[in-house]
């Protein structure tokens, strides 16, 4: 056993130095001598995961679970590996065991919810994201992915509620503003959608999705005409609206919005 301890010490030194391949070789030597050495097997599985070899990582974690079936932290890591390997139902099964053994490990709910989302079971996804929120009310990840799930189901009001909760903490998250814009589009609330996509472009001028959405909106004359009529009926200042939504020369292709509003204004006055 002294020889094994020496090898483990060498492996751990390599691991601390970031020499993961050398560390893995040493851990394999330990397992050749002592196949039931759980700690070395977990360390080797962790290294495989870091190196991106998910298949070998799964093999190592599975062997640990054979030796120690209720090892919660290993079950949790195994579940994430199954998710990374797109074995979503296996991930759900294993992470479900984690919850049964340790209900306070709230991130297990996150990975289960995400797994359900990827297999198209959106209702189950929402159910587990909601459970995550119950366990950790401040989970930004939970709010974000719960919003995405709501959006996928067409529950745009719910999605907006979650996304706004995130933006209260940080109003400049690009992906959150973008999904918020899409959610407003789902409700045909064009003014709010435009504001969100403009916010995205203010933060990231090269954001292709926001650029495409803005371009589509301002070139949809029927939609923009309706927006123009509604603005006039609400006695909004059209020139002010143009100023707010006109992206300017920095965003190529968007300059037509000013002409669009002038056209809609003239047409509206004729009515």
Q: What is the pLDDT of residues 63-102, one digit of tens each?
A: 999 999 999 999 999 999 999 999 999 999 999 999 999 8
What is the pLDDT of the chain when averaged over all its residues? 81
Whether 1-66 shares its CATH topology with 70-169 is answered yes
CA distance 256 to 249: 10
What's the predicted TM-score (pTM) here? 0.72
Q: How confident is the model over 163-174, as a mean pLDDT? A: 92
Asked if pLDDT for residue 237 goes beyond 60, the answer is no
CA–CA separation, 46 vs 257, rounded Å?
53
Say if residue 247's pLDDT is above 70.
no
Cα 126–Cα 103–Cα 44 angle in degrees, nearest 5: 100
Distance CA 243, CA 14 (A): 60
Cα–Cα distances (Å) from 242 to 21, 233, 261, in that order, read 59, 16, 7
Q: Does domain 70-169 have CATH number 1.25.40.10?
A: yes
Average pLDDT over residues 149-167: 93
Domain 1-66 has CATH 1.10.10.10: no
Summarize the confidence of residues 185-206 as an average pLDDT.
88
Question: CA 68 to CA 74: how far, in whole Å?
Answer: 9
The domain spans of the chain are 1-66, 70-169, 189-271
Helices (H) and strands (E) in the chain, counts: 16, 0
Rg (CA), the chain: 26
Q: If pLDDT is split at 50, 70 and 90, which confidence band does 220 have?
A: low
């Amino acid at each position: 056993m002294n020889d094994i301890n020496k090898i483990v010490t060498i492996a751990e030194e390599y691991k601390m130095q970031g020499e993961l391949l050398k560390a893995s070789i040493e851990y394999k030597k330990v397992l050749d001598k002592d196949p039931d050495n759980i700690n070395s097997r977990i360390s080797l599985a962790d290294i495989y995961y870091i190196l991106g070899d998910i298949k070998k990582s799964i093999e190592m974690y599975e062997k640990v679970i054979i030796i120690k079936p209720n090892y919660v932290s290993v079950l949790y890591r195994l579940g994430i590996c199954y998710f990374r390997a797109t074995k979503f139902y296996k991930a759900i099964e294993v992470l479900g065991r984690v919850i049964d053994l340790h209900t306070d490990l709230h991130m297990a709910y996150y990975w289960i919810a995400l797994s359900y989302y990827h297999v198209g079971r959106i209702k189950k996804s929402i159910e587990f994201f909601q459970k995550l929120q119950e366990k950790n009310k401040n989970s930004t990840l939970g709010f974000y992915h719960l919003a995405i799930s709501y959006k996928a189901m067409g529950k745009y009001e719910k999605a907006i509620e979650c996304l706004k909760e995130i933006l209260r903490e940080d109003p400049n998250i690009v992906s959150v503003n973008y999904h918020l814009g899409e959610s407003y589009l789902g409700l045909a609330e064009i003014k709010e959608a435009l504001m969100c996509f403009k916010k995205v472009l203010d933060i990231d001028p090269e954001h292709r999705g926001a650029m495409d959405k803005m371009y589509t909106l301002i070139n949809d004359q029927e939609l923009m005409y309706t927006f123009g009529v509604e603005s006039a009926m609400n006695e909004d200042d059209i020139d002010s609206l143009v100023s707010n939504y006109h992206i300017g020369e920095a965003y190529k292709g968007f300059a037509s919005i000013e002409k669009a509003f002038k056209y809609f204004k003239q047409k509206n006055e004729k009515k």
